[in-house]
Amino acid sequence: MTLANRILTGDRRALARLITIVENQPTEAIPNLQLLYPHTGKALVIGITGPPGSGKSTLVDKLAKKLRQQKKTVGIIAVDPTSPFTGGAILGDRIRMQDLATDPGVYIRSMGTRGSLGGLAKAAHSAIEILDAAGMDYVFVETVGVGQSEVDIVGIADTTMVTLVPGLGDDIQTIKAGVLEIADIFVVNKADRPGADQVKMQLEMMLDLNTKEIKWRPPVLPTVANAGEGIADLLQGIKKHYRYLHDSGELRARRKARYKAEIMAIVEEGLRDRLLTFWAGEGKINTVVEEVIAQEKDPYTAAFELLGPFLAK
Amino acid sequence: MTLANRILTGDRRALARLITIVENQPTEAIPNLQLLYPHTGKALVIGITGPPGSGKSTLVDKLAKKLRQQKKTVGIIAVDPTSPFTGGAILGDRIRMQDLATDPGVYIRSMGTRGSLGGLAKAAHSAIEILDAAGMDYVFVETVGVGQSEVDIVGIADTTMVTLVPGLGDDIQTIKAGVLEIADIFVVNKADRPGADQVKMQLEMMLDLNTKEIKWRPPVLPTVANAGEGIADLLQGIKKHYRYLHDSGELRARRKARYKAEIMAIVEEGLRDRLLTFWAGEGKINTVVEEVIAQEKDPYTAAFELLGPFLAK
C-alpha cells in the first residue's frame, strides 16, 4: 500500500514519514503527493506570525484545544527558518504542547531548513497538503522571526494572523503599511500588560489611515493566551474571516495564487535539474566561475554562454 | 557616453541613475554592468546585520567617518526588505547620516523590494559592483530585521558583522549555532548598558563550544556607537579580518561562491523569460492553474505538462 493510501486511512506514521521525505528528498515524495492531491482543499489554513516572544505557540495551543472541544481536527506546522537569531526556539516552545501531542485529533510537526527559505516554504506547502488530505479541519502554520518569513506565510495561508505584544517600545512605530497588507487578523497578546490598549489603539489608527477600498478590515483582538483569555473571540474572528473569504471569492483567488507559485516552483526545479544534466554536473559552471573571478569575462557573458547551448539544442 | 563611463569618471548622478535602473529594470542595466565589471574587485564589502534597534546605522555612520579621516572612500547600501515589521525604518535612521551625505567621499543609498528578497539580494549585489567600480574602498551593506536577510548578506559580503545589544532578554538564548557560522565579527553595541558583559560572556562561551576546526575566531567587540566608543577597535578588527581573508585564500573562495550564485541567478532569470515567451505569456499558466484548482489535475502533472514541450522542442 502506498504511503498516500495509508495516510488516507488515518495512519499517523505514514503521515510523519511522508513529511520527512518532503523535507529531505522532495522529489521522491511526488508520486504520493499526486495521489493525495484530489483529497485536499478542505482544511482552513491559518498562518500565524509575529516577533519572537509574542506567544504564537501558546495561542496556537489554546486555539487547538478550543477546536478539539468542538470535535475539529487540527494540524500544526511550526516553521523554523533556522535563522541565526531564532534557530531552535520553536522546539523549546513545543514542550508546552505535550498534552496536545497525545491527542489523536491533533498532529504537530516542526519543520526546519538548511539555508533556503524557498525550499522550506515549498516543503511547508506540501506538508499542509498532506495534513489536509489526512482530514485535518484546521492547519496552523506558525513561523518564528521578523523578516521574509511573514511574506512567505502569506503565500501559504488562507488566513494570516499577526501577533503583537505590548512593550515592544519603538517597534510599533516601524510597523508600517506592509503589515496592513498581510494581516487578516491582529492579535494583541499578553493584553494584561501595561500598554496593551495603546498597541490596539495604534493599530486601529493605522487601519483608519488605510484609504484603499477594503472589503475586510482586520480586527484587533486582545488575548492573554497563557490564561486562555480572548481565545473564544479569536476563534470567532477566524471563522468570520473564513466566511468572508468564502463568500467574496477571495478564498479561491488566494488558493489560485498559491498553486500558481507552487507550479512555477516545480517548473523551475525541473529546469534546474535538466540544466545540471546538460552541463554534466557542476564542472562546467565552476570553469566559467573561474573565468569570471579572473575577470576574463563578466557574470552576464558567463551566464549567457552557459545558457545559450541549452536553449539552442 | 555610457552611464558606465560616466561612473568611472566620478559622475555621481550617473551612479545613482544606474542603481535605480538596477532596481526597476534590471535587464536594462546589464550592458553598463558588463562595462563596469573589469573595474570591480577592489572594494572590501562589509555586511552588517542584527536585530532592529541594535544601532547598525549608527555603527556604519561612525565607521564611515573614521574611514574618511583615513582618506578612504565609503559606499553604504541600506537594504530594507520592506518587511511588515521593519518597512521604512532605515530611511528614518538615515537622517542621522546627513553630515555624511554632503561628503563627496561617501555614497549612501537605500534599497527596497516589493516582495522578492531574491531580487533584492541580486540588486544589492549589482549596486555593490557599481560602487566598487566607482572607486569606493569600502562598501557597507546594512540589513534590517531578523530572518532570512542575514543569510543573504553572507552571500554578498566579504566580512559579516553581527550586532547585538544588552537587554534582549531571552533572545540571547535563541542565538544558536547558525550565528556562529555567519558572523566574522560580533559587535556588542550599547555596551554601556547593564548586561553588556553578560552578552559578551555568553557569546564567548558559545564560541568556546564550537569544536569545529576554525581558522578565524570571531572577536566580540564592545561599542557605544552613539558616543563613538570602540569604533577604532572595530575598524582594526575589520582590517584584521580582511588580512585573514586575503592571506588564507578565503576571500577568493567567498567571492567565487558569490559569483557562482550570481551567474546561476542570471541563468534562471533567462530561462524564466524564455519560458514565458514559449508559453506566450501568462495565459497558458493560468489555464493550467484553473485545472489544478478544479482538482482536474495535481500541481506536479500540471508543471510537467508545462515544462515538457519546452524541453522537447
pLDDT value at residue A69: 95
- Domain limit, last residue, from A199, A220, A249: A249
pLDDT digits (tens, 9 = 90+) for B77-109: 988 655 433 333 344 445 556 677 788 899 998
pLDDT value at residue B206: 81
Nearest by CB to A34, which of B162, B274, B301?
A: B301
Say whether both B38 and B175 belong to one domain. Answer: yes
pLDDT value at residue A179: 64
Residue with cell 555567519: B182
Say whether both B192 and B286 belong to one domain. Answer: no
Residue A176 lies in a domain: yes
Say whether both B235 and B270 belong to one domain. Answer: no
pLDDT value at residue A144: 61
Q: Which residues of A touch B313 (CB under 8 A)?
A: none
**Of the given ranges (A65-74, A77-86, A178-187, B86-95), which has the lowest mean pLDDT?**
B86-95
What grid cell was written down for B63?
A: 565607521
Q: Give the CA distances from residue A111 to residues A123, A141, B204, in Å, rounded to whole numbers and listed in that order.
A: 8, 10, 29
- If one compares A3 and A54, the residue with the highest pLDDT of the two is A3
**Of the given ranges (A6-15, A53-62, A183-192, A240-249), which has the lowest mean pLDDT?**
A53-62
Say whether both A220 and A79 belong to one domain. Answer: yes
Residue B258 lies in a domain: no
pLDDT value at residue B154: 60
Rg over alpha carbons for chain B, rounded to the nearest Å, is 22
- Domain limit, last residue, from A249, A276, A298: A249
**Of the given ranges (A134-148, A200-214, B52-66, B164-178), which has the lowest mean pLDDT?**
B164-178
Say whether both B149 and B268 belong to one domain. Answer: no
Number of domains in chain A: 2
pLDDT value at residue B85: 34
- If one compares A49 and A43, the residue with the highest pLDDT of the two is A43
CB–CB of A292 and B179 under 8 A? no
Determine the 3-state secondary structure of B101 from DSSP: helix
CATH code assigned at B48:
3.40.50.300
CB–CB of A263 and B293 under 8 A? no
- Provide the ipTM: 0.80
Residue B257 lies in a domain: no
Say whether both A267 and A242 belong to one domain. Answer: no
Pick among B39, B48, B54, B83 to test the A interface (most A CBs inside 10 A) = B83
Mean pLDDT in residue range A159-184: 69
Nearest by CB to B274, which of A147, A149, A311?
A: A311
3-state secondary structure A32-74: HHHHHHHHCCCCEEEEEECCCCCCHHHHHHHHHHHHHHCCCCE
pLDDT value at residue B27: 85
- Residue whose C-alpha is closest to residue A128's, from A219, A33, A8: A33
8 A C-beta contact, residue A7 and residue A133: yes
Say whether both B243 and B268 belong to one domain. Answer: no
Checking if the pLDDT of B225 tops 50, the result is: yes
Side-chain half-sphere exposure of A80, counting CA atoms within 13 A? 23
- Residue whose C-alpha is closest to residue B69's, from B102, B106, B35: B106
Question: Residues A64-96, buried b or exposed e (16+ Cβ, 10 A)?
Answer: bbbbeeeebbbbbbbbbbbbbbbbbbbeebbee
For chain A, give the mean pLDDT.
83
pLDDT value at residue B158: 94
Residue with cell 559578551: B200
Say whether both A197 and A297 belong to one domain. Answer: no
Mean pLDDT in residue range A25-43: 93
What grid cell was written down for B195?
A: 548586561
Residue B107 lies in a domain: yes
Mean pLDDT in residue range A14-41: 92
Instruction: Return d(Cα B174, Cα B159) in angstroms, integer.
Output: 23
CB–CB of B150 and A41 under 8 A? no
pLDDT value at residue A188: 94
For residue A125, what pLDDT band results from cuts at 50, 70 and 90? confident
Phi-psi region of A179 (alpha: psi -120 to 50; beta: other; left: phi over 0): alpha
pLDDT value at residue A177: 46
pLDDT value at residue B24: 83
Give the domain extent around A136: 3-249
For residue A149, what pLDDT band results from cuts at 50, 70 and 90? very low
Checking if the pLDDT of B176 tops 80, the result is: no
Residue A187 lies in a domain: yes
Phi, psi of A153 (to 5 degrees): -65, -30
pLDDT digits (tens, 9 = 90+) for A77-94: 988 655 433 333 344 445
| Count of pairs with CB atoms under 8 A, one residue in A, one in B | 222
Amino acid at B138: Y
- Predicted TM-score of the model (pTM): 0.73
Mean pLDDT in residue range B199-208: 87
Q: Which residues of B touch A279 (CB under 8 A)?
A: none
Say whether both B208 and B276 belong to one domain. Answer: no
Residue A254 lies in a domain: no
Q: Give the CA distances from residue B115 to residues A43, B50, B83, B139, B234, in Å, rounded to whole numbers and listed in that order.
A: 26, 21, 8, 24, 34
Mean pLDDT in residue range B120-148: 83
Instruction: Return d(Cα A51, Cα A299) in angstroms, integer.
Output: 38
CB–CB of B304 and A270 under 8 A? yes
Say whether both B137 and B226 belong to one domain. Answer: yes
Most confident of A227-241, A285-299, B122-136, B164-178: A227-241
Residue A59 lies in a domain: yes
Residue B254 lies in a domain: no
Shortest alpha-carbon distance between residue A69 and chain B (Å): 32
For residue A64, what pLDDT band results from cuts at 50, 70 and 90? very high
- Domain limit, last residue, from A227, A249, A271: A249
Say whether both A297 and A168 belong to one domain. Answer: no
Say whether both A157 and A272 belong to one domain. Answer: no
Q: Give the CA distances from residue A268 to residues A23, B97, B193, B268, B281, in Å, rounded to whole numbers and listed in that order.
A: 18, 42, 49, 8, 16
**Of the given ranges (A192-196, B10-14, B166-170), which has the lowest mean pLDDT?**
B166-170
Instruction: Return d(Cα B38, Cα B25) in angstroms, integer.
Output: 22
